[in-house]
Amino acid sequence: MKYRILGRTGFKIGEIGMGLEHLLDKEAQVVANTIRAAIDGGVNCFDCHMGHDYDEKSITYVSYEKLGKAIRGIREKLHLSHISHWMTRAPQDAAPRFEAYLQALDTDYADVFMIQFCDKAADYEQVTAEGGILEYAKQLKAQGKGRAIGIATHSSAIAYKAIDNGAFDVIMYPVNPAFDVVTDEEQYKSEDLMTLWNAAHDFKADGKAGAQPRKSVYSECERKNIGLIAMKPFAGGFIFGVEGDAGFTPVNLISYALSQSGVSAVVPGCTKPSEIEEILTYNTATDEMRDYSGAVAKSRWSVRENCLYCNHCLPCAANINIGQVNRLLDALAYDGDSDAGDVRTRYDALPVKASACVECGVCEERCPFKVKVIERMKNAVQVFEG
């Protein structure tokens, strides 16, 4: 397992984490065996989906107690996000539930207090309003009981609001080739989440070119040093069902998510040991097994002139790291701020700059997505070296 830093939190987390949404309602032994298989494989980041079995009389969570038993004695080695689904609750209503979570896990803090499933504009307003759940999360952070604050959303509009807010240290957002290409978010402003899947299903790449607007969320998280956790790497299994012949696998879809700008970890959901073991084959997979470019190119989501950082353009005759230059260019896509300090610093650290391009064109011949590499290298020279 390789490890990455989760934005400004400073947490060192495994590239592959685990979502527990569909695990914690299983039998205790299944939960324990699956969690242990994950930990044995190097997983240290768990997305603890809010349990639905809270008992108000006893103030307990049966599901979290299963998890607590599974991690007993090793809590300090793990990073756990506590999921709050109480966006409309006042802090005094949320507090007993949070305390029950801590008690069940035999801990006195959550690494990330994650506000879950915030996809509606009205919900976001409630989250950030005076006396709302964000205010409670800030109190927990000040007390050291919630060491970072996060928000999970499927909507780029909400993600941008959260990024600009400044209070959120972590954003959980879907990262997969099916959702990334959706350009007309009007199709799911109905606030019916399934319309996002519908938009991906109906998408046709014919005649469409250029970078995708939803991917700007990744770049902006990277620029602002906000930790980005990729959820739904398989779009809930939708990708395998819709494009079963394209060649998508759990391994190459995880590789896709981890190749995007700003992503610290991917958290696929697993319900039994064999599933987490299959996911963890990514750690020993060959470059060929991790290569997602062929599958994307065969799918309905193959958009021309959109760099996916697959490195098929390499080797470059001038030794330019073309994919990394493109990542840095894309990191400016949100508002076009070419004076972004951290991005410029990372460009300056590249051993070979875009200005070394000899315009041989071999990279463009190799690119499965017909990216105008020479044009982008010229753009990089203007932006970073001008």
For the cut 80, the answer to whether the pLDDT of residue 157 exceeds it is yes
For the cut 90, the answer to whether the pLDDT of residue 330 exceeds it is no
Encoding tokens for residue 299? 């799918």
Q: Which residues of 279-313 are buried (b: 16+ CB within 10 A; e: fewer)?
A: bbebeebeeeebbbbbbbbebbbbbbbbbbbbbbb
Encoding tokens for residue 275? 């599933």
| CA distances (Å), origin 16, targets 8, 35, 258, 266, 269 | 19, 13, 9, 5, 11
| CA distances (Å), origin 80, targets 74, 226, 320, 346, 353 | 12, 17, 39, 30, 40
Predicted TM-score (pTM) of this structure: 0.89
Longest dimension (CA), the chain: 72
Residue 354 banded pLDDT, cuts 50, 70, 90: very high
**Cα 9 from chain centre:** 15
3-state secondary structure of 114: strand
* Torsion sign (Cα): 295, 301, 306, 308: negative
Lowest mean pLDDT among 9-23, 74-88, 146-160: 74-88
Q: Which helix (H) or strand (E) holds 3?
A: strand 3-5
Q: CA-CA distance, 157 to 139, in Å (whole number)?
A: 26
> Which of 154, 124, 149 lies closest to 230, judged by CA?
154
Q: At what angle do helices 341-348 and 322-330 cross, to 10 degrees?
A: 170
Q: What are the pLDDT digits (tens) for 101-153? A: 898 888 999 999 999 888 888 889 999 999 889 999 999 999 999 999 999 99
